[in-house]
Amino acid sequence: MATDHGKVTAQIGGWQPVTAALSPLHQHQGRLRKVVLDADVSELTGVTQTVQVEMKYPVITHRVGFHQGISRALYAAVMAQATQDTPAEGGLAGTQFAHKMNLQGQFGLHGQLPPPGQGCILVGQVDLCWRGQVHPPMLPKAPGDVEPAVCQNDGMTTTGAHEPSLTAQEIRPLLEGWAQELGFQQLGITGIDLGEHEAYLEKWLNQGYAGSMDYMARHGSKRGRPAELVPGTCTVLSLRMDYLPDCSEAEGVLEDETRAYVSRYALGRDYHKLMRQRLARLARRIESRLGTGQYRAFVDSAPVLERAIAERAGLGWIAKNTMLINERAGSWFFLGEIYTDIPFEPDPPKVEKHCGSCTACLDICPTNAFVAPHILDARKCISYLTIEHAGSIEPSLRPLMGNRIYGCDDCQLVCPWNKFARVSGEADFAPRHGLDDAALVELFAWTGEEFDSRTLGSPIRRIGYERWLRNLAIALGNAPTSPDIIAALNARSDDGSPLVREHVAWALAQHQGWV
């Protein structure tokens, strides 16, 4: 087969693992179930083998591995509105394709392609299926762009032992039911085209807003291209789990400058392990039912644009404070993803942002970390400063941090949408060791051994004892002067860590009349 765009060689194999060597089409004749029932195809003269071509949606019937060249040729045939009639080399030698396709009234005018990322091209008795947010499907966008991923695994009709086949409409309620059984509040599905989010990330990194978070750029384009991170991925399942604990009122702790404020997500056990286990169980459940599939679970631990994926999956919109907001649940939830090669039906993305003219989250930020709506300079963000940043904290920012010793929730606390947030029923997210309302002096007195034992299984553990003391020293410097606070700071003035000593000295200087 040849096109006006150049010669293309293609080989097709049916019922083979994706990694297996592909074999010519003629070797599969008679072995594959006939899937083209009523195609509207132009007959051509002088053809060694006539191949029927049909665009169908949402039928997905066989798993096929194939060379990308054939998809480009088929796409060219549609768009050129002309017959491509020169034989090709390899598995489709002597085959001609007609541009005339039966779109079954699904996609509008004759000759148009299906919606982005949806459909099947059926060739003879083999179908080539794709699913993913790409447009045009299976065609490189421009020189230098990544080749769109193709779903080569048809898990929608593959079944487990003694299980009946499933349609796209039947599998969805099963997925949602399994997710809810595992403690997730919502599941959304999307393809792998993250649109403008990849470009936004690159621009944000180039502005230096990531601070010392070098890992944000370490994996190149993999963060914005799921199929590069996990080859074969064409669909992403995005799930959310509420985490707001039943604890002391956040505003009350923030107003009492002698108390330590810990971000609500970090009061209980580390969510990474819990959610990763639940996602793995969900993946196993899906694989058991379908009998096939590749799955990879992520929870804030890999180069994944989780909020972009969630927005594309319809779970919410990325708000002015860069958090994902759900109109029925606010923003107090964790996100997790399952990358898979199963072509599940995608959900419509959340296009409209419902923040309106509200700027409460931008105005409340203690350090003015928002450059503009949707743009956060992490170098000023208290969450970054207390968790990600390993060194000395800029002296001009220290007074603005108040009593926030691990993270910051101010932009969520003032968001009107969080009136819809619900308290989590997960026992693991409940406060431990009184961290929802602890005295600064009490926490500053912890020994290294106490820190290790009391933060075991907690997200706080990752910052280490040194940064824990650094953060507490700043909070003590911002607290009202009292003999207890001065005594606590003096006890650490000769600490073995230069970083701790520096911040203790600064804190003592804030209480000049008492030192």
The secondary structure of 239-303 as a DSSP string is: EEEE---S-S-HHHHHH-TTEEEE-GGGSSS-HHHHHHHHHHHHHHHHHHHHS---EEEESSSSS
Please write the tens of the pLDDT for every residue from 27-56: 433 333 222 222 332 332 233 333 344 433
Average pLDDT over residues 265-292: 95
Q: At what angle do helices 483-491 and 464-478 cross, to 10 degrees?
A: 150
Let me know: does 334 contact 146? Beta carbons within 8 Å.
no
Please tell me the predicted confidence (pLDDT) of residue 154.
Answer: 55
Q: pTM, whole model, 2 decimals?
A: 0.71
Q: Higher model confidence: residue 93 or residue 220?
A: 220
Q: Is the dihedral of CA 223, 228, 231, 234 positive or negative?
A: positive
**% residues pLDDT > 90 (the chain):** 63
What is the per-residue pLDDT for 372?
97
350-369 pLDDT, tens per residue?
999 999 999 999 999 999 99
Q: What is the pLDDT of residues 1-32, one digit of tens each?
A: 333 333 333 333 333 333 333 334 344 333 33
Catalytic residue among 40, 256, 300, 428: 300
pLDDT band at 131 (very low <50, low <70, confident <90, very high): very low
Q: What is the pLDDT of residue 259?
A: 98
Question: What confidence score (pLDDT) does residue 46 get?
Answer: 33
CA–CA dist 86, 178 (Å, integer): 50
- State the Cα angle at 178 between 169 and 189, rounded to 5°: 55
What pLDDT sits at residue 514?
Answer: 63
Q: Where are the domains of the chain?
A: 2-131, 168-340, 360-514
- For residue 60, pLDDT over 60 is answered with no
256 is catalytic: no
What is the per-residue pLDDT for 114? 40
C-alpha dist (Å) from residue 307 to 189, 225, 228, 318, 337: 13, 14, 18, 7, 10
Residues 236-266 have pLDDT tens digits of 999 999 999 999 899 999 999 999 999 999 9
